[in-house]
A and B are shown apart, each in its own frame.
Chain A
Amino acid sequence: MSAPKAEAALAAAQELPDLPKDVDGPVFAAPWQAQAFAMALTLHKSGLFTWPEWAAMLGTEIKRAQAAGDPDRGDTYYRHWLATLERMVAEKGVTSTETLHRTRDAWDRAADRTPHGRPIVLTDADFSD
């Protein structure tokens, strides 16, 4: 990792004390978690939000999930992270929840029509019902 990215990741890990990590930095249980982490890192770097702002929204998300019966914060941390990412981009006016839903559904259709073993590529047609 180039030095600026490593520093950005280190800063994030310091600002977010509950981030799953070991002595060398963040650890991820699955590839999608690293993708979600990378998106937040990039949006933070672009100035969309500060880490304290992120931590506050993530905290709200975790409390909400716990109130709804989330049993274990440890292995669900990145689910809350993903929910925070979705909420943050909507609240900052980057996109809308509706657009995210539509795009999620389009990816679902794209996966459905793609034979196994081929790359899944999104097309305009996937956006129509």
Chain B
Amino acid sequence: MAGHDHDHHHEHGSELSETELRVRALETVLTEKGYVDPAALDAIVEAYQTRIGPRNGAAVVARAWVDPAFRQALLDDATKAIGTLGHVSAVGDHLVAVANTLERHNVIVCTLCSCYPWEMLGLPPVWYKAAPYRSRVVKDPRGVLADFGLRLPETTEIRVWDSTAETRFLVLPMRPEGTDGWSEAELAELVTRDSMIGTGLPASPSAK
């Protein structure tokens, strides 16, 4: 098991990197032998959810809030636009940013595998990987959002984006009111993971 990390690109199937395969194999075997409990492992990993990956998404969203030209470039071609931010590492091809407006709220779904843009968003929440979330959010997005405490006006259309092998999504939330004159860094602190998945809104400026 010489450890070099290469991606498998299959025509139809899913992708797991060599490293991911080895990690899954260990977890499977250790679980079978009773050495680890997957739920307990998830709990440890979840405790580090804000400390995994470069978490570039917040910086990207904050830039889009202060720079209309960047915002337009992001919506035109997110991969290209993010590439122009020198400090943000590669995000993979075909990342699409979808903007929330008063008229439309966006939610992204994808069960597992490599299509979750963790470089941007950090670790996917445990519930996001659960089959019930995926099937329910497609059928009843308003109900799922309500479960997360997010109640949108009836006049706001909810659009669900299903990630595919080719395309990954990032929600561009609306800039919170009461943040005039804030710096990009201050704004970035308001951008939560869930607001970039669409199951939440940015943190309130008064709570900061």
Contacts and interface: CB of A to CB of B under 8 A. Distances in A.
B8 A111 contact: yes
Contacts of B15: 111, 116
Contacts of B25: 100-101, 103-104, 106-107
B136 interface: no
Given A94-B35, A116-B12, A100 B29 contact: yes
Contacts, number: 168
Interface string B165-204: 1000000000000000000000000000000000000000
Given A26-B48, A117-B164, A122-B28, A48 B19 contact: no
Interface size band for A: 35 or more
B33 A95 contact: yes
A116 B17 CA distance: 14
Contacts of A42: 35-36, 40-41, 44
A38 B44 contact: yes
Nearest to A115: B12
A30 interface: yes
A73 interface: no
Contact of B129 (A9, A46, A119): A119
A29 B53 contact: yes
A31 interface: yes
B14 interface: yes
A27 B47 contact: no
A82 interface: yes
A73 to B, nearest CB: 13
15 contacts: A32-B20, A38-B41, A82-B3, A82-B19, A85-B26, A94-B29, A97-B1, A106-B25, A108-B8, A111-B16, A111-B113, A116-B12, A117-B115, A117-B163, A119-B131
Interface of B: 1, 3, 5, 8, 10, 12-17, 19-30, 33, 35-36, 40-41, 43-45, 47-48, 51-54, 110-113, 115, 118, 123-124, 129, 131, 162-165
